[in-house]
Each structure stands twice: as structure tokens, then as C-alpha cells.
């Protein structure tokens, strides 16, 4: 049995967060291990969703659990190679956070329903509709697969309000790069 993968969060402004993720081609034990580790990190980080670029991987994989609770594992959703087929319903405003932007929250407007085509861990493709908070999480994590970040969805006022925190994240990234850290 292979050793479980250990991931850490990739924080803004790491360049992998701006890349369009690539389709998964191998539906194998490695993918299952990746998903398991992503879910574990999501729970440890007190998140409700996580996309592969947020752990440094350029793969089209996202995981979520709208309860954010490991005990509610029956609510876990894993989407591999997802495509948003349709966004519909009422535009709703909701304050979003992001594990790649610790401590930063901003109001984001998104449709409250979405239709998604994706594969499961076995490569079986299906189409499903999500609504409400789950639809919001799917859209937020899907943005990560497209290289779109919370900062891109913020209003100018929110960007100004979070200017210092965003600059601190950039400074931290530059410091880590110059010291040879990930």
C-alpha cells in the first residue's frame, strides 16, 4: 500500500494559482490518494472546498463538503475534469473566503444554481445540478481550475480594504522564494 500524500496549502500569489489546470488522464490509485489527501487538508484547514491548484497541482480536480465537517463525509463531492455547462438561477451576493487567501473575505456575486459535467474517481462522467451554498462552492473551486482567484472577483472597494493583507501575502511569497522554500 502506498504512503498517503501530504499536501500544504499554496497561497496567493504563487504562479500555479494563475494557471489553467490540465485534465486528469489517469483514474488510478494515485488520483484516489490525491483526493483523499485534499479532503484531509480541507478539513484540517477548516474549509468547505479545495481545488488541486491550491495544493500546487495543475490538475482539474476539486473536492468539497458544504458542512466542512469530516463527520459528514456523506456530503463530500469530488469532481474530476469538471465543466460548468450552465449557470442559472438568481444572482446572489455572499461573503466568500479562500484557503489560499487566509483571513481575507469579500462579497462575491454568483448565480445560485449551476449544472456541471464531471467524472468521478473511476472516470465515469455524469451531469448534475447544484444549488445554493453547494453551487457557490463549486463555482469558487472551479474558478481555481481556470486560474481565476478571489481577488479577481472582489469589488474595487474590497481590494482596497484588503490591500495591506494582499501585499503581506505577496511579501511572504517573495521572502519564501528568496529563502528557497516552496
Nine cell digits for residue 66: 458544504
Any bridge partners for residue 117, and if so which? 83, 127
Distant-in-sequence, close-in-space partners of 17: CB < 8 Å, separation ≥ 6: 10, 53, 54, 100, 144, 147, 149
Secondary element (H or E) of residue 37: helix 29-44
Residue 44 designated active-site: no
Closest to 66 (Cα-Cα) out of 167, 157, 135: 135
For cell 464531471, what's the residue? Answer: 118
Q: Where do the H-state alpha helices sit in 57-154? A: 132-145, 150-153
- How far is the C-alpha of 21 from the C-alpha of 102, rounded, in Å? 22
Single out the catalytic residue among 44, 125, 127, 141.
141
DSSP state of 47: -
- How far is the C-alpha of 148 from the C-alpha of 75, rounded, in Å? 25
Which of the residues are catalytic? 141
Amino acid at each position: 500500500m502506498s504512503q498517503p500524500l501530504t499536501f500544504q496549502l499554496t497561497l496567493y500569489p504563487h504562479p500555479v494559482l494563475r494557471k489553467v489546470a490540465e485534465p486528469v488522464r489517469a483514474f488510478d490509485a494515485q488520483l484516489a490518494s490525491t483526493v483523499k489527501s485534499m479532503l484531509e487538508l480541507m478539513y484540517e484547514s477548516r474549509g468547505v472546498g479545495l481545488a488541486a491548484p491550491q495544493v500546487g497541482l495543475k490538475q482539474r480536480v476539486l473536492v468539497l463538503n458544504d458542512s466542512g465537517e469530516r463527520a459528514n463525509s456523506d456530503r463530500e463531492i469530488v469532481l474530476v475534469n469538471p465543466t460548468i455547462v450552465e449557470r442559472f438561477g438568481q444572482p446572489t451576493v455572499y461573503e466568500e473566503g479562500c484557503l489560499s487567501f487566509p483571513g481575507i473575505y469579500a462579497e462575491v456575486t454568483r448565480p445560485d444554481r449551476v449544472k456541471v459535467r464531471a467524472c468521478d474517481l473511476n472516470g465515469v462522467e455524469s451531469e448534475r445540478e447544484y444549488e445554493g451554498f453547494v453551487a457557490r462552492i463549486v463555482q469558487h473551486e472551479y474558478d481555481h481550475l481556470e486560474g481565476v482567484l478571489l481577488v479577481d472577483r472582489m469589488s474595487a472597494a474590497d481590494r482596497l480594504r484588503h490591500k495591506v493583507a494582499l501585499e503581506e501575502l505577496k511579501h511572504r511569497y517573495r521572502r519564501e522564494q528568496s529563502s528557497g522554500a516552496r
